[in-house]
């Protein structure tokens, strides 16, 4: 299952507003479940690299 553009935008907001501020996610590589889809996330200075459900489905989300 893939995420649509609205869900990806919500995921970007979630990563910035919730994950970046959480002590549970201090590492720059972690996994979360969002809208029922398991995502593997790598945090970089300007963006998040997100494998959405599978390593072949990669998106880059801004980290603003």
Question: Does residue 6 have a pLDDT over 80?
Answer: yes
pTM assigned to the model: 0.87
Tokens in use for 63? 């980290």
> pLDDT (tens digit, 9 = 90+) per residue, 7-63?
999 999 999 999 999 999 999 999 999 989 999 999 999 999 999 987 788 999 999
Q: d(Cα 17, Cα 12) in Å, to the nearest integer? A: 9
């Amino acid at each position: 299952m893939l995420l649509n553009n609205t869900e990806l935008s919500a995921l970007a907001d979630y990563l910035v507003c919730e994950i970046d501020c959480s002590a549970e996610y201090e590492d720059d590589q972690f996994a979360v479940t969002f809208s029922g889809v398991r995502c593997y996330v790598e945090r970089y200075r300007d963006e998040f690299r997100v494998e959405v459900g599978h390593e072949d489905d990669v998106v880059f989300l801004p980290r603003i």
